[in-house]
């Protein structure tokens, strides 16, 4: 029955990653572009949703996990993961641009994603959610200052 729906395991993983990406866009990323909210409210809503998503998943971030496992072996999956991270970085940059110039916003957005992904990894290792919470708190500080 498996091969009726999917050509192989890679195809299954590809469809799973696309589903996760759509879920992430719909439930977290689109909050960054909600014109009915102030930029700070957009950031808070997006980060609050990310907190719920990442703390409710015992496996951490599937995109980060797949990136580490397949980066050099399955380019098709790597491209899907890149799009996911690009969307996340773009959303943060969009919000940070309300307070910072273009280059600084890009740098702060990239640093935030790095911090959150690192926080997810440490959360999994130490079973301590404060790693993710600290990374999200730093993301909020970056909106208000040039905190790096």
pTM summary value: 0.91
Closest Cα partner for 47 from 111, 112, 118, 114?
112
Read off the tokens for 128: 């301590």
**Stretch 36-59: mean pLDDT:** 93
pLDDT for the residue numbered 28: 97
- Picking from 72-76, 89-93, 112-116, 124-128, which range would have the lowest pLDDT averaged per residue? 72-76
pLDDT for the residue numbered 60: 76
Read off the tokens for 26: 């719909």
10 Å Cβ neighbour count for 65?
15
Q: Residue 40, class by beta-carbon neighbours within 10 Å (0-12 exposed, 13-18 middle, 19+ buried)?
A: middle
pLDDT for the residue numbered 146: 67
Considering the chain, what is the average pLDDT of its residues?
92
């Amino acid at each position: 029955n498996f091969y009726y729906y999917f050509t192989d395991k890679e195809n299954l993983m590809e469809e799973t990653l696309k589903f996760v990406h759509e879920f992430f866009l719909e439930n977290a990323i689109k909050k960054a572009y909600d014109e009915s909210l102030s930029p700070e409210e957009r950031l808070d809503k997006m980060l609050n949703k990310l907190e719920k998503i990442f703390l409710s998943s015992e496996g951490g971030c599937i995109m980060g996990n797949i990136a580490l496992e397949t980066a050099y072996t399955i380019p098709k999956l790597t491209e899907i993961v890149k799009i996911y991270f690009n969307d996340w970085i773009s959303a943060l940059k969009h919000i940070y641009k309300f307070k910072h110039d273009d280059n600084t916003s890009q740098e702060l957005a990239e640093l935030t994603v790095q911090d959150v992904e690192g926080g997810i990894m440490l959360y999994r290792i130490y079973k301590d959610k404060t790693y993710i919470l600290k990374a999200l708190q730093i993301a909020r500080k970056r909106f208000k200052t040039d905190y790096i």
